A and B are shown apart, each in its own frame.
Chain A
Amino acid sequence: MFLVRVGRLFISFLASIGNVAVFMLRSLSFGFAPPYYWRQILQQAVQIGYFSLPVVGMTALFTGMAMTLQCYAGFSEFTAENAIPSVVMIAMTRELGPVLTALMVAGRLGASMTAEIGTMKVTEQIDALTTLSVNSYKYLVFPRLLTGTTLLPFLVFIDDIIGILGGYLVGVYHLNFNAANYIRNTFEALTFSDISSGLVKGAVFGFLICLMGCYQGYFSKGGAEGVGRATTNSVVTSSILILLFDCILTFILF
């Protein structure tokens, strides 16, 4: 009995991966073929790139500050304070920057994407798009996938800068580091791959967030309640996928 249940669960899990894959391939193949809906793409770009900035910036600032304090508490015991700036920098660029940005964007943008597309689905607006001769994958899904994938790395980059700045503020003004030394210690340790690996992660996470956001919305059913459920699913699945892929990518990129 138990085995049957597990087996069934496993099969439905595989089936949903298949469905997501089909959805993704459709969106990409329709999306990359002309004509392009520039207006939709631009609108999404503003949503993702501009309106996410405050949330992402604040998260980064506070994380950078807290990180520096925590490091100080640990490192000062064996007088390794000089390592703090570089540790904070590496933690921000490689891990915290991409992961926190992605999680914040999943909560803010992924959720609203699902709610918007889900509402369109249950109120027959997606059917209306089709009967007015517009491909809904092209019009709704592709612009989000495209802008999510290309713009999340920028958000991650900004997040890196603000996070490091937060660390600097705490280090210099609270822990009384020498400002010039702090900056030198930060940039001496900085390598190109610190930044680039974070940006690659950002692109992958952006794609995942938008894919799950659109997928859950597109297949939501059962009125307003169904849309609510889809929105929760969207945030949960994209958050789990972000952490899963973070782990996989870290193995690959190191």
Chain B
Amino acid sequence: MEFVVEVENLTKSFGTKAVLQGVSLKIRRGESYVVIGGSGSGKSVLVKCILGLIPYDVGSIKINGRDISKLSQKELFQTRLKCGVLYQGGALFDSLTVIDNVSFGLVYGYGMPKKKAYAIALEKLRSVDLDESVARIYPAELSGGMMKRVALARAIATAPDIIFFDEPTTGLDPITSGTINDLIVKCTKEMGISALSITHDINSLKHISNRVGLLHNGKMIWEGSNAELTTTTNPYVVQFINGNSHGPFTSN
């Protein structure tokens, strides 16, 4: 299987509001794909459709070569274990300690004994530069940057084939953003995990991406490699990268 995720002609509307209008996208194994686009262009909806969190109208989505609409409930849950997600706000479970959060997918998803799951969770915490000292505390006591790191540890704990990053650096200071970017690169380059990220952070974009797609008006209007990003003359891309207020994008 060459591709981890294959999305074809995906269409999704909420009521009369068409959000995605035929989006296609393929992510190769080991590739770090970044989707950019204006606010409300449907980036989060795209990711939620791929994860099966919201139903879509038309099109097909394949993960590891299997069409997710044809999977049974059980197979769908097994497929999801192969997808790590770093949610925008972290989405750590408030009522559980850090270690219980990180080992959650192992215990509940894989049915692993707690002791073994904790050992793996600790190892994952270390790989995001945290140690045992945070294991027993609750998410509310963590800083924003630490929360993101714990959430990342939780996302990689189940040994996923692909990780979805929803605006991983939004709301963090430049240095913490840098650390998170490095960790994302570490996941993709060293651990060989594929990634699909959403970001508005151009700095982060240049750092973490192999391929970039620009989503606009429900369609992927440009796609190219990281290098092409700076050489392209596509007016949308140029405006987006430079953050000009003049150009084909009109702010709403």
Contact = CB atoms under 8 A, between A and B. Distances in A.
B53 A133 contact: no
B51 A131 contact: yes
A173 B153 CA distance: 64
B59 interface: no
A123 B94 CA distance: 10
Nearest to A135: B77
Most chain B beta carbons < 10 A, residue from A125, A128, A131? A131
A198 B57 CA distance: 49
A128 B78 contact: no
Interface string A121-132: 001110111111
The 6 closest A-B pairs by CB, nearest first: A133-B109, A124-B91, A128-B91, A132-B105, A133-B77, A124-B87
A124 B51 CA distance: 13
A127 B105 contact: no
A124 B85 CA distance: 11
B91 A133 contact: no
A124 B91 CA distance: 5
Contacts of A128: 85, 87, 91-93
A119 interface: yes
B108 interface: yes
Q: Contact size class for B?
A: 20 to 34
Contacts of B85: 127-128, 131
A131 B104 contact: no
A221 to B, nearest CB: 12
B247 interface: no
B80 interface: yes
Contacts of A120: 93-94
B196 interface: no
B87 A127 contact: yes
B78 A133 contact: yes
B80 A131 contact: yes
Interface residues of A, number: 16
Nearest to B95: A116
Given A130-B53, A131-B53, A133-B80, A125 B109 contact: no
Nearest to A132: B105
Contacts, number: 57
A119 B94 contact: yes
* Highest count of chain B CB atoms <10 Å: which of A129, A133, A135: A133
Interface string A93-121: 00000000000000000000000100110
B89 interface: yes
A119 B93 CA distance: 10
A44 to B, nearest CB: 12
A127 B158 CA distance: 16
Nearest to B74: A133
Interface in A118-159: 119-120, 123-125, 127-135, 139
Most buried by B among A120, A128, A129, A134: A128
Contacts of A132: 80-81, 104-105, 108-109, 154, 158
Contacts of B80: 130-133
Interface string A153-174: 0000000000000000000000
B88 interface: yes
7 contacts: A128-B91, A129-B93, A130-B52, A132-B104, A132-B154, A132-B158, A133-B81
Nearest to B54: A127
Contact of A131 (B78, B83, B92): B83
B48 interface: yes
A131 B86 CA distance: 10
Contacts of B154: 132
A135 B76 CA distance: 11
A129 B81 CA distance: 11
Interface in B34-89: 48, 51-53, 77-78, 80-81, 83-85, 87-89
Contacts of A134: 104, 108-109
Nearest to B154: A132
A127 B91 contact: yes
Interface in A157-212: none
A128 B158 CA distance: 13
A205 B108 CA distance: 31
A114 B78 CA distance: 29
A29 to B, nearest CB: 11
Interface in B95-111: 95, 104-105, 108-109
A12 to B, nearest CB: 15
Contacts of A124: 87-89, 91
A168 B88 CA distance: 59
Given A127-B51, A130-B51, 16 more contacts: A116-B95, A124-B89, A125-B93, A125-B94, A127-B48, A127-B87, A128-B87, A130-B52, A131-B80, A131-B85, A132-B80, A132-B81, A133-B77, A134-B104, A134-B108, A135-B77
